Structure 1
Amino acid sequence: MRLSAQTPLPVSVQVPDYDRADQKPGIVHIGIGAFHRAHQALYTDAAMGAGDRDWGIIGVSLRSGDVAAQLNPQDGLYTVSRRSAAGTGVRLIGAVQKVIVAADAPQAVVDAIAAPATHIVSFTVTEKGYLRGPGGSLDLDAARGSSSLYRFVGAGLAARKAAGLPGPTLLSCDNLAGNGAVLKALMRQYLLADHSGLIDWFDRECRCPATMVDRIVPATTDADRAAVEAALGVRDEGAVVTEGFSQWVIEDDFAGPRPFWEKVGAELVDDVAPYETAKLRMLNGAHSALAYIGLGRGHEFVHQAIADPAIRPVIERLMRHEAAPTIDAASGQDLSAYADALLDRFANPALHHRLIQIAMDGSQKIPQRWLETLAWHQARGEHCPSLEAAVAAWIDFLRSDRPIDDPLAAPLKAAAAGADAARRIFGPTGPIASPWRP
């Protein structure tokens, strides 16, 4: 039997304590993968449970129909399982109302963005979904493609303007440095090229706040779904597994109404940058290093790699002595305690986070996760042994026989094949990888 709105569930499962049928959709979320369902959708569900109203989520899948096939037959319902060494807690999430597959119903996506009740359009499309060219500007040809976020958002904004509606908040929840400013700049480039009559309205009406999101969400496996089914007594094809920790820091700059996320654990701040920088350079930077070094030593999961006595000191040094000194911490932001917490989170044996999942799209992730830390130390005549080891492990990964899931896989593998691979990849002023041969 499949999970649905009519399914009875065990009393141990936390369920939505609001009338789902009475909630209007106030958010369109583009890129409705496991991370969004374990993070922003959970915060939104909790906000409605705390008394907020009309923040139902319409999810949009730009390419695959997998999430729609998982959630739509379940009335949008799914469970989030929080796993730790102490056990598992399960929560039913009711915030998602439906999922649209953009390739199947493109006008439905535009209509959802243009709907009067929509106040927020949010995104988790990964770094590569922003379609930036080598110099960081928008790849306009790609942005005009059938699966581009810009195509749908641009058409939705045009429809809103034509109807006399206010502009929405565009909320990037991806791991991009200055993600709000990046999204705004790229959106403006697209509008100037294809919707030039919208640009003044966009500047006046819309807002693109910066955010920092933090929660480890491994890809759900068949074994995970089987475990959830055993606990619920019904099949949940949309089940998500995550850790207990969650953090969301949001710049308080919205175009209109927003959920009261701060009442359920989110932090609304004037400046996200210190939190974002710490997350990108310490957590994400360490994650990528763990992935490439750990895979090179034959590990499959994060908790195995961090338990390796040859790897843990490399990761500790990366966080404490290489990344942390480059961060201008906010008042009360304890980077040493943050490093302690990260090491504990990485070591969680109940969360089977695959290293190969983290290793995907290295060309899109590494510039933000490693290169700014390396540049900061190089400007001071200093070396970063841990990050240089990570660069070498990445080059070894590119040289291996593994399939490389990266939009630049072919040129990267060609560059890595050279004897002086570090300079070939990063340029004449880039870092020289120290030897790392596990």
Structure 2
Amino acid sequence: MPDRLNDDSLADLPEGIRRPAYDRRALKTGIVHLGVGAFHRAHQAVYTDDVLGQDPRWGIVAASLRSPDTYDALQPQDGLYTLSVRSQDGEALRIIGSIRRVIVAPRATEDLLDAMADPQTRIVTLTVTEKGYCHDPATGALNEAHPDVVHDLAYLKTPRSAPGFIVEALRRRRRAGIPPFTVLTCDNLPSNGRTVKRVLTRFAELVDPDLGRFVADQVSCPSTMVDRIVPATSDQDRERIGQALGVEDAWPVVTEPFTQWVIEDRFPQGRPAWEMAGAEFVADVEPYEHMKLRLLNGSHSTLAYLGYLSGYETVADTMADPAFVRLIEGLMDEEVTPTLHMPPGADLSAYKRALIARFKNPALKHRTWQIAMDGSQKLPQRLLGTVRDRLQGGASIARLSLGVAAWMRYVTGIDEKGAPIDVRDPMATRLRELADRAGPSADALAGALFAVREIFGDDLPKDPRFTGAVTANLARLYERGAKRAVAEFAAE
């Protein structure tokens, strides 16, 4: 298949393939996005694509802060790629054109800073994952000892981190008299807008106290809630989609029909009319954020660790086991839902039913190993926030503690058959060293991991209701294995 998807090949695509409904040559850059991964391309870039026909000022310059892989795939395609929406009913293909160009930050640092400092750029969006904010997940504060933070404070003009790029661009805009852009995070952080504002303000203070006050007073960081399941693209996906298009697409993205974006409406320099594409603008995102982080993400992580240990490759495989369905339904209904406080009209029962159906979708090959990545960064907001609320109310954490115990068992790096686990986590080396010293003892392993303050804070390790429940479940996983432990939980 010699031909490549690009602007020239658009007109020759088969009928039934949806294409951009606007003149891409007329696009201006209004958004710079940091972290151009699959999720952004299946979510925010799609919402933007939907509204560019009405307003072409909001084209996207997308940057990778680390790997050149996305650039190498998309730049020869003029930024175009295929969105594949898959369900039990089949597959719908659509070409997304909202990304005007791609930058690899380490190769073109000044190019990216110029784009962010350009007066036309009025929003900087981020999907850099939890670890990309260089913060302490337990406190939400900037980790001032983080190697990238140390580097960026010493070399302001050649940053490596997302906070470093944002603060340097804001510094240049302030010096030039250009109003600051809005910073819109789309990552799963607790109170994500406020967390990012705290991180950026502190970083700016360390550069210059006046710059810190400017960021604190002038930079808007709305909170958001994003929701769409986006598995990693496989070679089989590329082959299938290429056959349907009649041209090669080096990096399509595959996703589910469901999508949701809830945003606090605080954009001093303007924004796209994303509500025309289905986004919901609200005064306070926090109830929706808790709903999604605790019900979807908390369940996802629990499924990932227990499912992987049970030998299940994907979430759909895991949810084909009725015991896992009962476990997750119990987790949602009995332990998570009582901690949520939703505004009038929000239908939690319908949302939970939809989650179960989404988890069961066999058309999505969402690997448990993929979801299990970066657990040290995810655990505090996905499970431990709920744990704290439950303990404060004197309520049970039986299923929540099983999820935490499964994470502990997973990060030992050895599965139930003695085979190695490829643990991808910024703290993987430290966690593995702790596990190796503890050995296959639930008491020793739990005690060692509880001492990781960045994850568990100072309070949970001192609460015997938490430590006792997690240690007991970890012992159960060692003695019975994950699959049997889940079956026993489901039967209780």
> Do structure 1's residue 316 and structure 2's residue 329 form an aligned pair?
yes
State the distance in 1 between where 2:429 and 2:462 align. 21
What are the equivalent positions in structure 2 for 1:7-406 lying under 5 Å apart? 7=9, 8-49=12-53, 51-133=54-136, 135-141=139-145, 142-145=148-151, 146-399=159-412, 400=414, 401-406=420-425
State the distance in 2 between where 1:156 and 1:375 align. 38
SS at match of 1:190: helix
Which of 446, 451, 457 is the equivalent residue of 1:422? 446
Map of 2:457 onto structure 1: none
Shift of 1:379: 2.1
In the alignment, structure 1 segments of 5+ residues that lack a partner are none
Which of 427, 432, 435 is the equivalent residue of 1:408? 427
State the distance in 2 between where 1:202 and 1:186 align. 10
Q: Is the 8 A contact 1:154 1:195 kept in 2?
A: no
SS at match of 1:311: helix
Q: Is the 8 A contact 2:197 2:216 kept in 1?
A: no
The one-letter code of the counterpart of 1:233 is G
The one-letter code of the counterpart of 2:446 is A
Q: Is the 8 A contact 1:168 1:205 kept in 2?
A: no
Shift of 1:219: 0.7
The one-letter code of the counterpart of 2:133 is Y
Query: Cα RMSD (Å) of the superposition?
Result: 1.4
Cα distance 1:388–1:203, how it changes in 2: closer, same or farther (>3 A)? Answer: closer
Map of 1:5 onto structure 2: 7
Higher deviation after alignment, 107-116 or 418-427: 418-427
The one-letter code of the counterpart of 1:251 is E
SS at match of 2:376: helix
Shift of 1:70: 0.8
Aligned residues: 437
The one-letter code of the counterpart of 2:291 is A
The one-letter code of the counterpart of 1:101 is V
Q: Is the 8 A contact 2:202 2:212 kept in 1?
A: no
Q: Deviations over 1:96-154 (max 9, x none)?
A: 01111010010011100000110000100000001113643212343243421122112
Higher deviation after alignment, 30-39 or 146-155: 146-155
The one-letter code of the counterpart of 2:249 is D
Give the alignment's TM-score, normalised by structure 2.
0.86
Give the alignment's TM-score, normalised by structure 1.
0.97
Q: Is the 8 A contact 2:20 2:49 kept in 1?
A: yes
The one-letter code of the counterpart of 1:190 is F
Shift of 1:205: 2.8
Cα distance 1:203–1:380, how it changes in 2: closer, same or farther (>3 A)? Answer: closer
The one-letter code of the counterpart of 1:6 is D
State the distance in 1 between where 2:402 and 2:202 align. 37
Q: Deviations over 1:50-105 (max 9, x none)?
A: x1221000001100000101111000100100000001111111100111101001
State the distance in 1 between where 2:287 and 2:206 align. 33
Shift of 1:310: 2.4
Q: Is the 8 A contact 1:144 1:150 kept in 2?
A: no
SS at match of 1:392: helix
Q: Is the 8 A contact 1:127 1:176 kept in 2?
A: yes
The one-letter code of the counterpart of 1:143 is V
Q: Is the 8 A contact 1:252 1:270 kept in 2?
A: yes
What percentage of aligned pairs have identical amino acids?
Answer: 47
Cα distance 1:380–1:150, how it changes in 2: closer, same or farther (>3 A)? Answer: closer
The one-letter code of the counterpart of 1:398 is V
State the distance in 1 between where 2:25 and 2:140 align. 43
